[in-house]
Structure 1
Amino acid sequence: MSWGFWRNWSIGTRMACIAMLPVVLLFASFMGYSWYSHRIQVDEELAERGRVLARALAETSEYNVISGNLSDLRLTIRGLVQSDASIYRVDIVDSSGHGLASVVSETALAPQRLQYGAPIRKQVIWINLFSDNGTPHITAPSDIRPPTVTTTNVGEVRVTMSPTYLLGKQARRFRVELAIAALALAASGVLAFLLARSLAVPLQEAIHALRAIRGGNYKVKLPVSTGGEVGDLQASIGDMAIALNLSKQDLENKVAERTRDLLASRNEALRADADKRKLIQKVNSIVEDERKSIAIEIHDELNASLIAARLESQSIAALAGKLNAATPAPEIEEIRLKAQAITKLTLDLYASGRRLVRRLRPEVLEMLGLHGAVEEMLRHYDSGSGCSFTFHSEGDFSRLGHDLAISAYRIVQEALSNVMKHAHAAHAQVSLVLQDDVLRIAVADDGAGFDPVLSSEGIGIIGMRERVYALAGTMAVHSTPGAGTEVGIVLPLEDRVNVS
């Protein structure tokens, strides 16, 4: 058994053991010593009685042994044995060891191992009746000479004692002592239990209060039920609970106030964000309208002027050709060549204007829809770019409104522009899926990629994200260095579907 077995005991058990252990040890010591002293007392009393009885019987049995009157001797011994329950047996033997008389007690149970003996002596007194000169002896006052005494052993008395009777008496006394000591021990146990309980119960109440406080119940009430250190502990726990309750209320008030401030800030931020999205959407709409206006002006005015300039330059070249055929001259030939150069320049300007018009206002989007516009864009990027493009689409894109379609087109355009500028990819894939009133756009490439944690977002991604947020959509960018980039966009169609 480990010496630390008591470490898991409760404080009440420890206090009870501390109070009762010395009492139990004292009780066991006292009872052991009491029983030992009673046994020693019995042995001493038996030895004293045995020696006294042996000497008394030896002095009173001299005449009966010498005279051979053994019947009277037996009667005397039997009466003595019957009157004293502590005598087990009395034996009278002669000088040669032969038994003369033997009496065994009828009440004694167990003999003692020791025997007590006393010799039976025959005393012969010789009295000198004559003086030394032969005359009769006349006792004078000055004559103090004792008579001559001669002793002879004629037998022996052997007494065997029985401790049963005396042990019984001592056992009754021991039982009384044991009962008194047991009552004292029981009283000590009750007192120890009460003392341990008076300490354990307040401590248990204090522990329950602390557990309640740990669980968040700061309104627990712990009355001071005792004095001393335990009472101070109860008072301290009560004061701590009150202080914690006040601190909790103060903290809750601060948290509530801070929560109100945060909610106000959040609502303000949401309003600002909503306003920003509306502003971005408005700006994008204005930009698209301005692009459309510029494209119309380029198409209707600039391109028309270029066509007129081309026709005039062609007319000048034709006239110069006719003049040069009639009257050849170097100046006329130079005029014809300049006119042809102007014609080529106007054609190039017209082509550039057409390309600019397509970038500003993708007419193909109005003619073919989002699906055809994205396909046309991919064919444009695929021609001579060194990167092959794959296109996948699902859904009826004719249901999309113009604003959502142009925004989706611009998002794909910006994503492909980033692929061409930064990815250095060999293959890219564009996916458009219109399903459950949600437009999903995915652009993935196998290019260089980047680390989103270490690299900051570029202007292109920021512009795409703001355009997506303005449409109440979501955007996710996943990229790994050396493993390409994937952009996923989800745009809701809420109230943006062209039901017409």
Structure 2
Amino acid sequence: MNRRRFWQGWSIGTRMIFITMLPVAFLFSSFVWYSWYSHRAQVDEELAERGRILARALAETSEYNVISGNLSDLRLTINGLVQSDKSIYRIEVRDAADRPAISVTSQFALKAEARYYAAPIKKQVIWVNLFADNGAPHVSSPSDTKPPTQPAEVVGAVRVTMSPTNMLATQARRFQIELAIAALALLVSAAFALFLARSLTTPLRAAIGALRQIRGGDYRVSLPVSTGGEIGELQASIGEMSVALDQSKQQLENKVAARTRDLEASRNDALKADADKRKLIAKVNSIVEDERKSIAIEIHDELNASLIAARLESQSILQLAEQVERGAGSLSASASAIAIAQIKLKSAAITRLTLDLYASGRRLVRRLRPEVLDMLGLHGAVEEMLRHYDRESGCRFTFHSEGDFSVLGNELAISAYRIVQEALSNVIKHAGASHAQVALMLSSAESRLTIEVADNGGGFDAATVSAGIGIIGMRERVHALGGSIAFESNPDEGTVVSITLPLAGPTAVS
């Protein structure tokens, strides 16, 4: 487990101030220490220099007073020096036996140095030749030799003790001025560091606030670029990111809304389709039952009646034949002729009955399955249907076809025939059209059959008018074959029904 260092919890502003002020504080401390050290060293050097010079000067000028014993003038001179120079703490003059002869101490409140500066007072004897050997004044020449000088005799010493108090006070005042200037520079640096830190933290806080706002889900963030450099680039990037996120959010919401609408529409279509299917099933069952009842009635009323009539006629023929056979010898020629005539009539009646039975059977077969489709194919069956409707209704029909319809399968041909039949039935029953056109187009390259039925009738509003059983039946037949159906209609502008059926049939989905 790693321990967090103390500075890792600092804010960027604190780190900025620390980074800025640490070298400044180090430089300030170094400057203060060096300034105080240099002032103190300057005081020490100056005091040492002045002490040595003063001691040497007094030693050179006090030789006569010490030798002559005239110490009062020397005391006055030393006293004047001590009083005039506040850096002198004490001046002592000692004799050859190192006994104090003169000692003058400053009257000011001074602090003496631990050391003193001493210079010996020497007496020197020099030979002076004022006259030459002949008694004339001596004139020096280059060849003259200098008279010997006697070694200097130490007759005393001068000791000077200096005091750093006054100079330290002066240097302290200078140091205070320098310290004030450095402190002012430090304060200016601190203010500048605080300004820089705030100029850094203020846009960063705004950027962090914008990021938190974005994290909270509000992508419409207004973050102006208030500075330059990397922070400005960060602000610009956050602004661009907020715009991109807002656009993505809007697009996603639009997609979700569109998908929701699609799902709701699909659900409504599914519910409607289920209702339509239930309605269609109920209608189909009703139609099937009605058709069965109609066929049963037709079989009972027509076929049975014709069969009974044929049986009665055949029985009458049998009875007539038996009468003719029994009375072959007793019947007259006229009676035989009458019986034969009746037999012929009965035979003709049976023929008519059998023809009626055949016609009734064909009608029943046609109702169960269009036999014209087997004989003429889809193209011929649709043409025959159009000729029938053209004769029976007040609407005129035209027909257009393309392709080889002999390749169609039985199921597809029957479904296409029933779809066209239902479409034409709707035109006759509901459209009120005076003209209609049917087009069959078979494309082997695209493997599809296209059916189009157009009329100039009253039309309808597809968005408001609910589909009837005929349209539902057509739609279910088309969907069962894996095709598509579309209705284009407006009030008083006619209707166009477009149907596309694949030749291969629907594809099973596992």
**TM-score by structure 1 length?**
0.50
**Alpha-carbon distance in 2 for matches of 1:12, 1:197:** 7
**Alpha-carbon distance in 2 for matches of 1:102, 1:272:** 134
**Cα drift, residue 239 of structure 1:** 1.2
**Cα drift, residue 147 of structure 1:** 4.3
Larger of the two Rg values belongs to structure: 2
Residue 141 and residue 76 in structure 1: after superposition, are their counterparts in 2 closer, same or farther (change >3 A)? closer
Tell me what 1:160 maps to: 161
Tell me what 1:81 maps to: 82
Tell me what 1:110 maps to: 111
**Deviation readout 1:128-156 (Å, 9 max, x if unpaired):** 4676xx65464134164444433211100
**Alpha-carbon distance in 2 for matches of 1:274, 1:112:** 121
Residue 47 and residue 144 in structure 1: after superposition, are their counterparts in 2 closer, same or farther (change >3 A)? farther
Classify the secondary structure of the residue corresponding to 1:218. Answer: coil
Residues 13 and 197 in structure 2, CA contact (< 8 A), matched pair in contact too: yes
Residues 87 and 108 in structure 1, CA contact (< 8 A), matched pair in contact too: no
**Cα drift, residue 180 of structure 1:** 1.6
Residues 206 and 234 in structure 1, CA contact (< 8 A), matched pair in contact too: yes
Tell me what 2:149 maps to: 149
Residues 108 and 162 in structure 1, CA contact (< 8 A), matched pair in contact too: no
**Alpha-carbon distance in 2 for matches of 1:115, 1:3:** 60
Tell me what 2:190 maps to: 189
**Cα drift, residue 77 of structure 1:** 0.9
**Deviation readout 1:352-381 (Å, 9 max, x if unpaired):** xxxxxxxxxxxxxxxxxxxxxxxxxxxxxx
**Alpha-carbon distance in 2 for matches of 1:270, 1:207:** 51
**Deviation readout 1:220-276 (Å, 9 max, x if unpaired):** 211111122211111111111111112112222222333344456667888999999
Q: Does the alignment pair 1:140 with 2:142?
A: no
**Deviation readout 1:150-179 (Å, 9 max, x if unpaired):** 321110000011111111111111111122
**Cα drift, residue 55 of structure 1:** 0.8
Tell me what 2:238 maps to: 237
Query: Over the residues paired in the alignment, what is the CA RMSD in angstroms?
Result: 2.9
Structure-to-structure mapping, 1:39-118, within 5 angstroms: 39-118=40-119
Residues 110 and 163 in structure 2, CA contact (< 8 A), matched pair in contact too: yes
Tell me what 2:210 maps to: 209
Tell me what 1:491 maps to: none
**Deviation readout 1:433-459 (Å, 9 max, x if unpaired):** xxxxxxxxxxxxxxxxxxxxxxxxxxx
**Alpha-carbon distance in 1 for matches of 2:149, 2:28:** 59
Residue 7 and residue 158 in structure 1: after superposition, are their counterparts in 2 closer, same or farther (change >3 A)? same
Classify the secondary structure of the residue corresponding to 1:28. Answer: helix
- Unpaired segments of 5 or more residues in structure 1? 277-500
Tell me what 1:258 maps to: 259
- Structure 1 counterpart of 2:88, one-letter code: I
Structure-to-structure mapping, 1:61-460, within 5 angstroms: 61-128=62-129, 135-136=134-135, 138-142=137-141, 144-150=144-150, 151-263=152-264
**Alpha-carbon distance in 1 for matches of 2:54, 2:256:** 103
**Cα drift, residue 117 of structure 1:** 0.4
**Alpha-carbon distance in 2 for matches of 1:16, 1:109:** 46
**Cα drift, residue 31 of structure 1:** 2.1
Residue 141 and residue 57 in structure 1: after superposition, are their counterparts in 2 closer, same or farther (change >3 A)? closer
Residues 127 and 148 in structure 1, CA contact (< 8 A), matched pair in contact too: no
Residue 109 and residue 270 in structure 1: after superposition, are their counterparts in 2 closer, same or farther (change >3 A)? farther
Classify the secondary structure of the residue corresponding to 1:222. Answer: coil
**Cα drift, residue 41 of structure 1:** 1.0
**Cα drift, residue 12 of structure 1:** 1.8
Tell me what 2:340 maps to: none
- Structure 1 counterpart of 2:220, one-letter code: K
**Alpha-carbon distance in 2 for matches of 1:91, 1:194:** 62
Residues 85 and 108 in structure 1, CA contact (< 8 A), matched pair in contact too: no
**TM-score by structure 2 length?**
0.49
Moved more, 254-263 or 22-31: 254-263
Residues 121 and 154 in structure 2, CA contact (< 8 A), matched pair in contact too: yes
Aligned residues with identical type, % of pairs: 66
- Unpaired segments of 5 or more residues in structure 2? 278-510
**Alpha-carbon distance in 1 for matches of 2:163, 2:140:** 52
Moved more, 153-162 or 34-43: 34-43
**Cα drift, residue 199 of structure 1:** 1.5
Residues 219 and 242 in structure 2, CA contact (< 8 A), matched pair in contact too: yes
Residue 274 and residue 5 in structure 1: after superposition, are their counterparts in 2 closer, same or farther (change >3 A)? farther
Q: Does the alignment pair 1:14 with 2:10?
A: no
Classify the secondary structure of the residue corresponding to 2:111. Answer: coil
**Cα drift, residue 11 of structure 1:** 1.6
Classify the secondary structure of the residue corresponding to 1:159. Answer: strand
Residues 131 and 138 in structure 2, CA contact (< 8 A), matched pair in contact too: no
